[in-house]
Structure 1
Amino acid sequence: MPSPESSIGSANTDLSRLVAAAADLCRKPLRHAVVSPDLGAAGAGLGAAAQEGNSLDLCLRLEARTPEGVRLPAEDLELEIYRSGEALNLTLTWCHRDDQPLLWHGSHPVWMDGATGLRSGCPAQGEPLEALARRLRALLRPDQD
């Protein structure tokens, strides 16, 4: 029987792989690694919490690379996953590009200026982020929407 520690490690790996694979698919040709200082306890319970309707808050960084493995810090994203009532919400922001709006995705996508919080239009590179948010919401809460 696996130890609780190995189960937690497995859940973290599964979550990281799920998010990275979704980002790889939606942001081709970039490749992604998932990094988080708080992936431990919160990440371990993400799948179960999402399925059982429990509260969750999680912040992840998606580090981008070229297909050859060259780091592209300007393409790194921060992904926040959180619950508001019964709804699962996501925000996606570029880590090193303050000039770009952030994406909030609940029941629909909303682009906002990060400094003012006012709505803005979808940026030139925004469609892949909208696709990523839709895919992650569907994977984490297939019964929602």
Structure 2
Amino acid sequence: MDAPRKIPAQVDPAAPGNAAVSEFVDVMDELKSILAEENDLLSQGLPASVLETIGEKEQLSQKYGVLGNDLVDRSGGQILSDGALREKLLEASAELVAMTEENRQLLSNALAATRRRVDKVMDAIRTCEEDDTRNSDDQPSPRRG
């Protein structure tokens, strides 16, 4: 997967809300980076190694939601009036949504594969236990006396 693209804010840095736009974009880029890494690992069949990023991904997702709401509340008018910035944010958001959906699907596939492996192991254990039970039933009982 390609590295996430940085979105250059095309607004006056002295204008109110630009720090909010920048922080929002930074969080979005971090999320996209984590998703890209996870998706690459999952695509290679290495689901166990992505578990380290789940906590960080959750925190960034929450921060993304809060910052997005704050950005709309504080700078929504500015974003709407700046067509180039609005388009860049919409494109980046759409890319994040697509990456998130891919991540969800890959994680779902990895979990299904793990379930299948666990089921096979459990079947093997049951078969061994049944064999042990049959073998012990076939053995004559020790005589007492």
Shorter-chain TM-score: which interval? under 0.3
Task: Compute the TM-score of the two structures, normalised by the length of structure 2.
Answer: 0.27
Structure of greater Rg: 2
- After TM superposition, the score normalised by the length of structure 1 is 0.27
Q: Which has the higher helix share?
A: 2
Q: Which has the higher contact order (CA 8 A, sep 6+)?
A: 2
